[in-house]
Homo-oligomer: A and B are copies of this chain.
């Protein structure tokens, strides 16, 4: 522990005075050490340590015109999918000296708007966003403000923008194919709002699989749309389907939270999984493997999504000339477990 008991805050000026140099030199020590004579540099660094000086980020941002923070706007921080993404983001950002400002929209459009405003006020260097709705104009407005943008889990609709996504149509088709291969002829798709692109794409993929298998495109895929995408909504969906007495052969859930809730609801109602109904989720969150009946799912490279998105973003920020915009699309992967075991 050093002597830095200055009580308040210590500025570059005080460091300069104590080290017998000008403030400019201290600034150089901080930002362009190579431009400073070795002896001077070590002397200044010593004073910095002694005084416990830490650079005033706001002053720096104000002068430099840009900050060392990025914004991360997600739809539901309670969903392990986004948590994994956030972990990837945080790791990369932290390594490169950036701070991450977290914004959780809870699917609420107004709240997302408010978060974006906060990001704008903070003059974040860049923004990672999982847009909750289709609204290109709003995103363009942000870009016009000079804030770099990378779409996370959402393909870009223009080539001058980075995005990192996973093919949800393929994922939906893979899931439905798997269920059909297991012998299901009547499928249900339990989803969140279909205004969410992911939900819609996964449905599209499932529809393709149903059609390709020669099943009835309407009766073959019943769609159950819930207002939320958490475990509670899944449980309610189960209760609803059981109450209405029309259970399909197999159920595909738009994410694992829905699937886990649904699973619980089915089991409580005495429905056996996979014997009575097969079940598959989406995301392959950690808890999918540990559930009552281990849950089949579609795995996405979540952590990697966060890492790569952040790398793209910071590359765009730090090397604006050499940066090449990329739209990266990963392919999801089937993870078959007990909930779709076919030996029935």
Q: Which residues of A contact B (CB under 8 A)?
A: 1, 4-5, 7-9, 54-59, 61-62, 67-69, 72, 77-78, 80, 83-84, 86-87, 90, 94, 97, 99-104, 111, 114-115, 117-123, 137, 141, 144-146, 231, 260-261, 263-264, 286-287, 289-294
Q: Which residue of the partner chain B has the closest CB to A82?
A: B83
- Cβ distance A232 to chain B, nearest Cβ, rounded Å: 9
Contacts of A122 in B (CB 8 A): 57-58, 69, 99
Q: Check B118–A90 contact: CB distance below 8 A.
A: no
Interface pairs (15), CB distance under 8 Å: A54-B121, A56-B123, A57-B123, A69-B101, A86-B104, A90-B104, A99-B121, A99-B122, A100-B102, A101-B101, A102-B102, A231-B286, A260-B287, A261-B290, A292-B294
Residue in contact with A121 in the complex, picked from B56, B84, B103, B115, CB distance below 8 Å: B56
Q: Does the CB pair B54–A117 fall under 8 Å? A: yes
How many angstroms from the CA of A80 to the CA of B84 in the assembled complex? 11
A333→B263 CA distance, assembly (Å): 26
Complex alpha-carbon distance, A121 and B55, angstroms? 6
- Contact B78–A84 (Cβ < 8 Å): yes
CA A83 to CA B123, docked complex, whole Å:
26
Give the complex CA separation of A94 and B103 in angstroms: 8
- Which one, B69, B101, B292, contacts A290 given CB within 8 A? B292
Complex Cα gap A80–B287 (Å): 11
Closest to A99 in B: B118
Per the bound structure, the CA–CA distance linking A175 and B264 in Å amounts to: 24
Minimum CB distance partner of A295 in chain B: B290
Asked if B114 and A94 sit within 8 Å, CB to CB, the answer is yes
Inter-chain contact B67/A58, CB cutoff 8 Å: yes
Closest 6 CB pairs of A and B: A58-B61, A58-B58, A287-B287, A57-B121, A102-B102, A58-B62
Question: Given the complex of chains A and B, what is the CA–CA distance between A114 and B68 in angstroms?
Answer: 14
Contact of A62 among B5, B54, B56 (CB under 8 A): B56
Query: Shortest beta-carbon distance, A66 to chain B, in Å?
Result: 10
Question: Which among A56, A72, A261 has the greatest number of chain B C-beta atoms within 10 A?
Answer: A56
Contacts of A59 in B (CB 8 A): 58, 62
Q: A102-B100, A287-B287 are in contact. Are A86 and B77 (CB under 8 A)?
A: yes
Known: A86-B77, A146-B9. A1 touches B123 (CB 8 A): no
**Could you tell me the distance between the alpha carbons of A229 and B7 in the complex, rounded to whole angstroms?**
38
The reply to whether B145 and A9 contact each other, CB–CB distance below 8 Å, is yes
Q: A78-B84, A231-B286 are in contact. List 9 more A-B contacts (CB 8 A).
A: A8-B146, A54-B121, A90-B104, A94-B103, A99-B119, A100-B101, A231-B290, A260-B287, A292-B292
A248 to chain B, nearest CB (A): 21
Q: Which residues of B sit under 8 angstroms from A115, Cβ to Cβ?
A: 94
Residues from chain B with Cβ under 8 Å of A4 in the complex: 141
